[in-house]
Chain A
Amino acid sequence: MIIGSNMAEAHPVGFQWVMEAKGHGARVIHVDPRFTRTSAVADTYVPIRAGSDIAFLGGVIHHVLDNDLDFREYVAAYTNASFLVGEDFADTEDLDGLFSGYDPATGTYSRDSWYYAGTRPPGEPDGSRAKAFSEPLQAGASGAGIDGAADAERDPTLQHPRCVYQILKRHFARYTPEMVERVCGVPQEQFLDLCRAWTANSNRERTTALVYSVGWTQHSVGAQYIRTGAILQLLLGNVGRPGGGVFALRGHASIQGSTDIPTLFNLLPGYLAMPDVEHTDLDAWIADQRSAGHKGYGYDVDAYLVSLLKEYFGDAATPENGFGFDWLPRIDGDHGTYRTVMDMIDGKVSGYFVLGQNPAVGSAHGKLQRLGLANLDWLVVRDLNEIETATFWKDSPEIETGEIVPERCRTEVFLMPAASHVEKEGTFTQTQRMLQWRTKAVEPTGDRRSELWFTHHLGRLVRERLADSTEPRDVPVQRLAWDYATEGEGPWAEPSADDVLRRINGYDLSTGELLPGYLGLKADGSTSCGCWIYSGVYADGVNQAARRTPHTEQGPYDAEWGWTWPMNRRVLYNRASADPEGRPWSERKKLVWWDADAGEWTGHDVPDFPARIPPGHVAPQGSTGPEALCGDDPFIMQPDGKAWLFAPHGLLDGPLPTHYEPHESPVRNPLYGQQGNPTRKVYGRPDNPSNPSPPESGGQMFPYVLTAARLTEHHTAGGMSRQLPYLAELQPALFVEVSPELARERGLAHLGDAHVVTSRTAVQARVVVTDRLAPLRIEGRVIHQVWLPYHFGHTGLVSGDVVNDLFGVVEDSNVFIQESKVTTCDVRPGPRPRGQELLALMEQVRAAAGITVETGTRISTSHGVPHTEESP
């Protein structure tokens, strides 16, 4: 199942394995708004309206539950299907699209009614604080908390009306094939064919893999898209088993790595929560991550954080000073990239580093990005090439409109050449969590330097400047362990990436030995470790990520090529590949099993379970951590050891996925009175207008659904592709794909010019009339969809308008990812107006649609109160 991904074009080399599977008899199904090269080689292509995937997958869940097609033994033993939810819980079926606990004043839920019967929320159930800094993303290491999960009431027969299984059944009761047809535009027979294929291929003998990409994440309800996929895969027993799983195909060489070792505002390495204002000291932070009766490895976060602090501050981190915890900065709100850009426009930010990224083209609402850049004191851009983010002051679209005038723009810009991937050594983490070490081929020439060099020396220079300070705020800079080994001579030598990787792996400080893995981490300060999930990458003193045993010389799991976190484990939660008694579900799908003679788990992969806890083990009362895991608790990072069909905690927009229309949609929600995600983050500002959506009027100005995606021949914002002759020649111009019907409706000529219009701007593109984008029948009317690639900008060998300028900023409340995979638009023939005339057109469009700063901000449909996110 490939949904929300054009794998053949965006991840072509990975797609060879899909084709290999197809050659072995697998059926490949592609669901997408547009017929792509993935669709072309799939066995079945299902067109869908962009933004309706939860309704679609919810329909599959309905089909599974209605026909008793779930993998019952797996579901009963390994998920929370049997857990009873408290009596106060009310579903979207009861409240017309809202769950119990909604507060229209904050646009968030109080989540205390979502808990299992007999359990409590740990600490504060109020969602408004959590929404301020994306708390759900911070639960990666510890799991979302539940006090007393071991005491939760359960009904193993799954018949109790308040058990998760029955709640799920009621929640999706109206997601019928008829409803899927109305909401998604998918004919019922085609939908049922897909349902039959998915369920028939999911059992003891067979598994189904689910693949998605940013076609799922970039939505105002994106986290719940992925939840829906996960629920379905759990119901069908496709998690933790070979050939199963939910695969996120990520788009950058080390974007997985930059999440694991995050340059993200609310995380520390290894998905540890960035401290917030409530964390008065280390103990308060630890207590906040844990819950009463907390099972599994998430309980050991104290060891993970203390070991990180020992790496950060070395000998200066002592038990007496809480290992330097109080030196860490505290967050108290949204410091995400979009908030920060608005703060730039509002004059709150002085300086900005942009490192190998091109937000002037690649982030949503490009104009907002560029106006932010134009209101800084200074900007440092480090890249291989001269990109739009560095040249906004001389060639951005706002120069033409007069909104940025070079002579009046004060931003001081440093554009620094970066070393390329062959001019430095280090690891990338690819999309399946595998770290691969790159050796340096040549030395960088001229002023080209690695980010390692830049960061190391920036740190050195800042530390020199603050060395004699007596200010308390400078203590963490002074005490920072910044003594990495260097290669070469002199003050400007290159730091050693190998030394950094060793420190990420971690040391036993009492012996000076490299740690074999995270199980050896201690909370007493006797170990150091830069990222607990990466511990083991330097096990046995060997750079495991640098291993290159050819695939021809090893088995199907290729365990000696690179190193996959955690512990070189290929399939997460693989305890679930065996039945509750520890036997493989089938010989054909054998992966990990209990070896009774040896008294331990064994198999083809590294078992993802305490090695010596037997299948029938019952944890002692009152235990916590790994010791609290029972033999049938495969989900060792969950506080109750079970996979969550229903999420009692950890999500802000509901314990179950619910179909909400996109922020900007041409249709009224056919399922509920509540139109969009009632917790989405909206920013009602004059510089961030929204297209009206029902029940607001004015939406007819933007009657079409717009989505955007990648081409094979370009990469993201084009900074690494539009500059290269081969790639520029292969895809030389921006184009917009429209159906023949839409072309007729709007008078668009194939290969002629058109401009796509939203309330933000108009973008010019060449028209490609194609039946790749078939019009869909939604709620009895025809809905047209249009598509553009988003790689173009104004530098490089080929140029074109910035497609991201069409999108505004509205975000998922859980993770703060913007909705840039779906919006509404108009398409008009001919080139767009330029300069002042473009601004005049936009004024006219917004006036005609009746757009004000309040448009789109009434996130709770029934309350109808304008809402906007406050600046922290």
Chain B
Amino acid sequence: MWERLGKWPVVRQLTGRDRLGRGAAAQSPSHVGLRPRTADADRVAGTVCPYCAVGCAQKAYVRDEKIVQIEGDPDSPISRGRLCPKGSASLQLVTGPQRLDKVRYRAPYSTEWTDLDLHQAMEMIADRVVAARERGWQDVDGKGRRLNRTVGLAALGGATLDNEENYLLKKLFTAMGAIQIENQARI
């Protein structure tokens, strides 16, 4: 009885050191047992927020090969651990149910998506690239000057991608003669 009474928060507040009731006096047994998701992580990966260009450093906590939390990295001289609402929501961006998981395919004139195997999609796209490149090919202009290019295919995107990815994109498209290669930096 006295033992139970002694656990009553009011008693703990009046008799313990936490007289303002803002710490230990207000804790419940389940509360005491709470541990942050980050505590049980198997490892932490240093990463960078994918939204705006400030470049806030993030720490991605991994348990059982799944991301369990993403937080700001206090070591960063740019962000000092802070994240904005978007950066703070990046756990949802990465793990949320809105994420696409399978290739979706819409045939010409179709009214719905269907499934398509990833490697088959890659083979189909490669076929189409070769054909579109050929269809739009231009060897020379009206004055006989070298053009060496295709206007049959275009690309847009890069500002959300890695430098290494942009590098390969520009290199491949340039070698194929594709010139209409653009990204958000133009916008």
Contacts and interface: CB of A to CB of B under 8 A. Distances in A.
Contacts of B75: 548-552, 561
Nearest to B61: A441
A440 B45 contact: yes
Interface in A237-257: 249-257
B169 interface: yes
A414 B109 contact: no
A410 B160 contact: no
A247 B64 CA distance: 42
Contacts of A461: 122-123, 125-126
Interface in A742-794: none
A808 interface: no
Nearest to A262: B170
B101 A428 contact: no
Contact of B62 (A249, A257, A441): A441
Contacts of B147: 277, 329-330, 332
Given A261-B170, A353-B153, A340 B180 contact: yes
Contacts of A363: 187
Given A561-B77, A712-B86, A356 B160 contact: yes
Nearest to B90: A421
Contact of A417 (B70, B102, B124): B102
B3 interface: no
Contacts of A258: 158-159, 161, 163, 166, 183-185
Nearest to B115: A447
B126 A263 contact: no
Contacts of A815: 186
Interface in B24-76: 43, 45-57, 60, 62, 65-67, 70, 74-76
B123 to A, nearest CB: 6
Contacts of A424: 162
B164 A426 contact: yes
A195 interface: no
A470 interface: no
Contact of B146 (A280, A407, A421, A434): A280
Contact of B177 (A329, A380, A726): A329
A712 B157 CA distance: 22
Contact of A473 (B46, B137, B160): B137
Given A329-B147, A329-B179, A500-B168, A355 B161 contact: yes
Given A13-B87, A265-B179, A384-B100, A458 B126 contact: yes
B156 interface: yes
Interface string B173-184: 011111111111
B126 A462 contact: yes
Contacts of B53: 11, 249-256, 430-431
A267 to B, nearest CB: 9
B98 to A, nearest CB: 4
A799 interface: no
A357 B153 contact: no
Contacts of B82: 13, 16
B187 to A, nearest CB: 6
Interface stretch (B4-12, B14-22, B127-135): B127-135
Contacts of B45: 422, 438-441
A349 B150 CA distance: 10
Interface in A790-841: 796-797, 815-818, 820
Nearest to A9: B84
Contacts of B124: 414
A531 B163 CA distance: 10
Contacts of B149: 329-331
Nearest to B85: A713
A13 B79 contact: yes
Contacts of B170: 261-263, 268-269
A411 B108 CA distance: 5
A161 interface: no
A442 B70 contact: no
Contacts of B60: 422, 441-442
Given A264-B181, A420-B93, A446 B102 contact: yes
Interface in A317-331: 326-331
B118 A447 contact: yes
A480 B126 CA distance: 17
Given A386-B104, A480-B175, A492-B119, A330 B185 contact: no
Interface residues of B, number: 119
Interface stretch (A296-304, A715-723, A843-851): A715-723
Given A357-B156, A712-B84, A415 B171 contact: no
Contacts of B90: 421
Contacts of A417: 99-103
B157 A430 contact: no
Interface in A82-124: none
Interface stretch (A200-208, A449-457, A587-595, A648-656): A449-457
A476 B177 contact: yes
A280 B100 CA distance: 46
A501 interface: yes
Residue of B90, B102, B171 contacting most chain A CB atoms (<10 Å): B171
Nearest to B181: A263
A152 interface: no
Contact of A355 (B119, B155, B179): B155
Interface in A334-364: 335-337, 340, 343-344, 348-357, 359, 362-364
A727 interface: yes
B169 A455 contact: yes
Contacts of A332: 141, 145, 147
Contacts of A416: 100, 103-104, 118, 121
A421 B152 contact: no
A462 B159 contact: no
Contacts of A336: 182, 186
A357 B159 CA distance: 8
B15 to A, nearest CB: 40
Given A349-B180, A436-B57, A458-B129, A415 B148 contact: no
Nearest to A816: B186
A24 interface: no
Contact of B92 (A348, A726, A796): A726
B45 to A, nearest CB: 4
Contacts of B135: 350
Contact of A406 (B52, B109, B186): B109
B145 to A, nearest CB: 4
Contact of A724 (B92, B154, B160): B92
B183 to A, nearest CB: 4
Contacts of B180: 265, 335, 337, 340, 343, 349
A10 B53 CA distance: 10
20 contacts: A252-B51, A264-B182, A264-B183, A278-B145, A312-B175, A326-B146, A327-B175, A329-B179, A350-B132, A352-B156, A353-B153, A355-B161, A394-B112, A413-B105, A414-B105, A417-B101, A418-B100, A420-B50, A438-B48, A720-B50
Closest 7 CB pairs of A and B: A430-B55, A355-B157, A426-B162, A329-B149, A258-B158, A551-B77, A461-B126
Given A253-B52, A263-B182, A456-B168, 4 more contacts: A13-B87, A252-B159, A362-B187, A720-B86
